[in-house]
Structure 1
Amino acid sequence: MDLNLHSSLTLVLPIEDSSQVGHARRTAQKLAEQQGFDATDAGRVALVVTELASNILKHASNGELHLRTLPGSAPGVEVIAIDRGQGFDLQDCLADGFSTRGTQGIGLGSILRQAQVFDVHTDSRGTVLLTRFYPRAARFNDLRLGITQHSLHDDPACGDVWEVAMAGRRVSVLMIDGLGHGPEAEDAAMAGARAFNREPFADPGVLLDDIHHDMRGSRGGAVALAQFDGEADRLRFIGIGNIGATLLGEDRPRGLPSHPGIVGLQYRKVAAVDYPQCAGQLLIMYSDGLQSRWNLRDYPGLMYRHPAIIAAVLHRDYCRGRDDVTVLVMVLETLDD
């Protein structure tokens, strides 16, 4: 499967009172229609968003819905419900007729039937519930990829940029954090993204040089490149600045260190580092808007959830709140047809 995914902000809908349920439903339905969903399929999205928003108010008092479009062979819509409630027993709540609040108890069972992709992580810190929708008649290949991206103070300009290129068994991932935030940081990061997209599978050192060249004259930024070759079962990584990156499998996590410098201004040339035997592991990359002192093993079972769930949990619990923030989580696996 050949695919190029481009940076885009996550749409955040606060759910704090009942008046916001209708707005969330209309927003999600319109997003689905813009993706080419017919009335029936867009109605499924609207129904589930109504259930998710209502459940947040009933069981956690407040929370958020995060919406993204899903490019690919079939266009899709992703909706993630996030709260800081007390959690629940998932198996009990999936059964129709079960309710912890005296309601009809049709929520999660109905959601599971309507969404093509469903996953959830719940504990005493709260719940993150993922749904993904595709047109019923379409053939789709759900990507084991999760991304959450947010600008500081909901600024339309975001200094964080990510790109993902897929070609058969190869994946190339870029993350840039433009220095500071706002339009100038975004301009710097987008210049680097354009260089990446010209030849995303070039040698990482050469590609970093090209990105540096195109970012010259801007304020510069931190850059990280990760290239996975499924045929060789190897990840190559190179980073300049403060992009965090980790490989996580059954064994001890492997940190992927970056080097000092500012791409577009000045840095010392370094070689990409190879990490063998990483098929099936999680690649987690994040800008410095996310705290680095997290440990996925503090959340029992989370590393086995969908990458979109993992990205949302990390953002919920470790966002610094004073910079743009991007979290990308991907399962390194064979992605050919």
Structure 2
Amino acid sequence: MHRITVTEASQVAEARRRAVAVAQGIGFDETAAGRVALVVTELATNIVKYGVPGEVLVGTYEDGTGSGIEILALDQGPGVSDLGSALRDGHSTGGSAGEGLGAVRRLADAFDIVSRPGSGTAVLARMSGVRSTAPGAEATFGSVTVPLKGETANGDAYGIHERADGWTAIVADGLGHGPDAAKASEEALRLFRRNQDKPPAAILSDIHAGLSHTRGGAISVARYGRDASTLTFTGIGNVLGAVVSGTGTKRTVSLAGTAGHAARRIQEFEYPMRPDDLFVLCSDGIATGFSIDGYPGLARAHPTLVAGVIFRDFARARDDATVLVVRGQVR
């Protein structure tokens, strides 16, 4: 994802330029790219006026709802006390051209917002180039993945394979950061795709064997079986997972080592996971104490928005950062 810091007005234009470039790069026509420009301008202007410090993340998505561009606006401002009024179309966020968050919601194919007084606001807008997401479809998963500031190569990678009875997911964190870390995580993702129907421990064993020519990294693989309501997890190194339910957060166990070089054991662990629970998987660019327990209602939000809030509040400044959020089953 592209990451644009937004602390003053001149950065609104940079956010708009980067977002339009991404949209055009995936085939958006002039009209669709114009919608993207309006949405980003509104969201970035909103941060400048009410939410500094903040940032805009711009990336692409492809899932059961369709494909297109997604924009996350994350701020650490005072929050919105009256979301109903803020979302009313025509209620301007300080005189910007789009006439408020209501216009963003109208222009987007998918829209979600969470805000907590004193703790900032997070907004997600997704747009497809043809305005044709599947009717009634909801996203099973969402993510945020960004390189260390100053790097263009992301040393993290993630993947998800949706199955008839659930899904299998991976987050790979190449050792260190930069191009060599990216090569390791990309190779892990290639091996995951080749072996994704095997049991999680077998997938991880194949990845471990296949990364010996790279610098290696931390890898975790998880599989959710809907019929058994069970999450099977295996990991080498510090890619950390957690099952988030209405009763709290259960963290998974990952064993010490470096995939590709040193792993004494590869072992599977099982955890109960209900269809409406979330599974969160984070690289070590996210603090180990990450939690959404203190965010009322966030677990019901779009998975990408959940990932965005975790990234905003728990990202470390010294590494690439990835958050993958997967819902047990679409409601």
TM-score normalised to structure 1 length: 0.89
Contact 1:98 1:105 in 2 (8 A): no
1:84 equivalent in alignment to 2:80: no
Q: Tell me which amino acid in the other structure corresponds to 1:65.
A: V
- Corresponding residue for 2:124? 130
Deviates more, 1:123-132 or 1:167-176: 167-176
Q: Tell me which amino acid in the other structure corresponds to 1:13.
A: I
Q: Indicate how the Cα distance of structure 1 residues 277 and 66 shifts in structure 2: closer, same or farther if over 3 A, else same.
A: closer
- Corresponding residue for 1:33? 24
Shift of 1:27: 2.6
Shift of 1:309: 1.4
Give unpaired runs (5+ residues) of structure 1.
1-9
1:291 equivalent in alignment to 2:287: yes
1:233 equivalent in alignment to 2:229: yes
CA deviations on 1:100-134 (whole Å, 9 max, x unpaired) are: 75889930111111111111111212111111112
SS at match of 1:303: helix
Q: Tell me which amino acid in the other structure corresponds to 1:182.
A: G
Q: Indicate how the Cα distance of structure 1 residues 111 and 223 shifts in structure 2: closer, same or farther if over 3 A, else same.
A: same
Q: Aligned-residue CA RMSD in angstroms? A: 2.2
Aligned length: 326
Q: Tell me which amino acid in the other structure corresponds to 1:291.
A: A
Query: Equivalents in 1 of 2:184, 2:16: separation in Å?
Result: 36
- Corresponding residue for 2:161? 165
Shift of 1:135: 3.4
SS at match of 2:316: coil
Identity of aligned residues (%): 36
SS at match of 2:293: helix
Q: Tell me which amino acid in the other structure corresponds to 1:32.
A: A
Deviates more, 1:150-159 or 1:211-220: 150-159
Q: Indicate how the Cα distance of structure 1 residues 103 and 208 shifts in structure 2: closer, same or farther if over 3 A, else same.
A: closer
SS at match of 1:111: helix
1:110 equivalent in alignment to 2:103: yes
TM-score normalised to structure 2 length: 0.91
Shift of 1:186: 2.0
Alignment of 1:52-201 (within 5 A): 52-72=43-63, 74-88=66-80, 89-96=82-89, 98=91, 106-123=99-116, 124-140=118-134, 141-201=137-197
Contact 1:29 1:46 in 2 (8 A): yes
Contact 1:97 1:104 in 2 (8 A): no
Q: Indicate how the Cα distance of structure 1 residues 86 and 207 shifts in structure 2: closer, same or farther if over 3 A, else same.
A: same
Q: Tell me which amino acid in the other structure corresponds to 2:72.
A: I
Query: Equivalents in 2 of 1:103, 1:153: separation in Å?
Result: 29
